[in-house]
Structure 1
Amino acid sequence: MTISIIVLLFGAGVLTGMINAVAGGGTFLSFGALTLVGVPPVVANATSSITQFPGYITSTLAYWEDFKTFWRGAIALAVASVVGSLLGSWILLQLDNPQFRTLVPWLLLAATALFAAGPYLKPKPRPGQHASVGSAFGTAMQFVTAIYGGFFGAGMGVMMLASLGLSQAGDYHRLNALKNMLAMVIAAVAIIVFVAGGVVAWPQAVVMIPGVAIGGWSGVWIAKRVPQSVMRFSVIAVGLLLAVYYFVK
């Protein structure tokens, strides 16, 4: 890698971490930056999953106390996440780069639309409701979400928060804690499959991971000063531009 590519990937990692901390959707940038520097789409998707993983861990640890109230019910959702992510990541590995590349603009458009609709999909707080999580309906919905997350992670968090809001009880913070834990499980399984399949660009990942970590930490500072609407608009613009890029390329 040249110095300019290293700077580009590190900078994209920082912005990815910031956007994930403020509004979510940073996967658009990490995936886009990797493909722009010449990483094949399948490898870029797998590598992007690895760069996001440290952020999922820290987000889950931040909600550690919340898990004491529902961890038993979350086991069923975690199992569904493991199976769904295995299936989604396995499907990805069955595609070659040209095949996956034809799907990328459509996946980007769908994920961008989902991200744009995120504020309207967020579940309304339901104070006082603390029923156990892990119903059959919720487990089935989580299985479908995990397939998408294992195959193509962009927009997964918004999709999961929306599905959990429809199927689980509790306020927004409780659902967000559950979402962060399940996202970590989905990403961990996908990473194992991708590493075993040999589709990870490790030099690029090593450059981006510290940037994502720095961006995630500094994103808290950004969140207090930059309106989330500005960050969301930036993510949507990037998603649309990348979709157009892949349509015309």
Structure 2
Amino acid sequence: MTLLDIIVLAVAGFAAGTINAIAGGGTFISFAALVFTGLNTLEANATSAVALTPANLASVAAYRSEVRTHFREMIPFMVIGLFGGGIGALLLIWLGDGGFRPLVPWLLLVATLLFAFSTNIRRFTEPWSKGDRPGARIAAYVLMSVVAIYGGFFGAGIGIMMLAALSIIEGGDYHKANSVKILVAFLIQVVSAALLIAGGLVHWPHAVITMLASAAGGYLGVGVARRVPEKAIRATVVTVGAVLTVIFFLK
């Protein structure tokens, strides 16, 4: 790696960890930086997944009060995250770079649209949280299962879809829902990372630099999440996602 590569990965890792702690979408940044440093799309995706795992753990630590308070309620989502993340990672390994590369611009497009219309998505799911609807929890579990598999496969955009799933049963408690999102995302990445490492897809020099920077960003990002308007962060993520989508469609 060149000095420029190291600087790019450090800055991207810190930004990705911070953004993931606030609204999700940090994968956009880390994935693009890893491709910039010369990794193919499959290796960049796998290395990004491994590198961002400690950042999510740091964010879980920062949300430890909410996690302790609501831990029992989180258990079903934790189980879904573990199984879904494993399925998604195995699917990624099975496809290989030849199968994954053509999907990248479409995955980026879907993730960008999720962020762009996140307010509408949340508004659509919020009515489910009003009253005691028997199907609400089942719907949340089904949506979370789909998101977990997608998260093990790619990861960009899972934060907003998790929050949408959680809004079905949690109503307006943002920090409770965000703590569940961060914990489940961490578990998805743990099992996904283990499988991707076993598959030999991770480039460790790139991963370590991104990992250290993203862990710092992940911990500090929770403090930012309590002060910075979520709309500002989401607008940034949408802009980055749109640019990357165009670039990968043209490449």
TMscore range, shorter length: 0.7 to 0.9
Deviation at 1:100, TM superposition (A): 0.6
The CA deviation string for residues 175-221 of structure 1, in whole angstroms up to 9 with x for no partner, is 22221211111111101111111111111011112222333455467
Letter in 2 for 1:36: F
| Corresponding residue for residue 98 of structure 1 | 98
Task: Report the more deviating stretch, 176-185 or 88-97.
Answer: 176-185
| Corresponding residue for residue 14 of structure 2 | 14
The CA deviation string for residues 24-74 of structure 1, in whole angstroms up to 9 with x for no partner, is 312101001111221111111111112221221122223333344443343
Deviation at 1:230, TM superposition (A): 4.2
The CA deviation string for residues 131-178 of structure 1, in whole angstroms up to 9 with x for no partner, is 9xx944433222111101100100111111101212456722222222
Match of 2:24, SS state, is coil
2:58 is the counterpart of 1:63: no
> Any residues of structure 2 matched to 1:122-161 within 5 Å, and which?
122=122, 135-161=137-163
Deviation at 1:238, TM superposition (A): 1.5
CA contact (8 A) 2:137 2:168 kept: no
| Corresponding residue for residue 174 of structure 1 | 176
State the aligned residue count.
Answer: 247
TM-score, scaled relative to structure 2: 0.86
CA contact (8 A) 1:129 1:171 kept: no
| Corresponding residue for residue 212 of structure 2 | 210
More helix by share: 2
CA contact (8 A) 1:59 1:180 kept: yes
CA contact (8 A) 1:129 1:170 kept: no
| Corresponding residue for residue 240 of structure 2 | 238
Following the alignment from structure 1 to structure 2, what is the Cα–Cα distance between the partners of residues 5 and 73? 42
CA contact (8 A) 1:17 1:216 kept: yes
CA contact (8 A) 1:127 1:171 kept: no
Deviation at 1:18, TM superposition (A): 3.2
| Corresponding residue for residue 200 of structure 2 | 198
> Any residues of structure 2 matched to 1:25-64 within 5 Å, and which?
25-64=25-64
Letter in 1 for 2:54: P
Following the alignment from structure 2 to structure 1, what is the Cα–Cα distance between the partners of residues 219 and 137? 35
Task: Report the more deviating stretch, 10-19 or 115-124.
Answer: 115-124
Q: How has the CA–CA distance of structure 1 residues 140 and 21 changed in structure 2, closer, same or farther, with 3 Å as cutoff?
A: closer
Match of 2:109, SS state, is helix
What are the ranges of 5 or more consecutive residues in structure 2 without an aligned counterpart? none
Sequence identity (%): 42
TM-score, scaled relative to structure 1: 0.86
